[in-house]
């Protein structure tokens, strides 16, 4: 068991973190991801514009980015075939007869 001074030091440390708006988390993950998760957490604590962008990208990746209306049309307009003057013609054939 930790001594009284160690408990007090730990309490003071956690109080300082709380004043900064930080919380301590325990997560489960692969050992190979340890440094990645630590680097990610360190980067997010900076709370600047880049951290906000990173946070937004992570939320979209984890939750799935919401689809915007007109996304397919926008992709088609960016196609390299735009303005190629391709004429698409469909054969007009008579309907086939079916025996019902």
Question: What pLDDT digit, counting tens, does each position of 16-43 carry?
Answer: 999 988 888 899 999 999 999 999 999 9
> What are the residue ranges spanned by the domains of the chain?
4-64
Residue 30 CA neighbour count, 13 Å, CB half: 3
- Residue among 7, 6, 44, 4 nearest 25 (CA): 44
Q: What is the pLDDT of residues 60-76, one digit of tens each?
A: 888 876 667 777 888 88
pTM: 0.52
């Amino acid at each position: 068991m930790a001594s009284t001074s160690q408990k007090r030091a730990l309490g003071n440390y956690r109080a300082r973190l709380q004043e900064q708006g930080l919380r301590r988390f325990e997560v489960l993950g692969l050992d190979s991801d340890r440094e990645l998760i630590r680097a990610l957490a360190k980067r997010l604590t900076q709370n600047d514009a880049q951290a906000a962008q990173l946070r937004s990208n992570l939320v979209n990746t984890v939750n799935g980015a919401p689809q915007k209306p007109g996304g397919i049309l926008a992709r088609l307009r960016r196609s390299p075939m735009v303005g190629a003057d391709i004429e698409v013609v469909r054969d007009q054939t008579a309907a086939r007869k079916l025996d019902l």
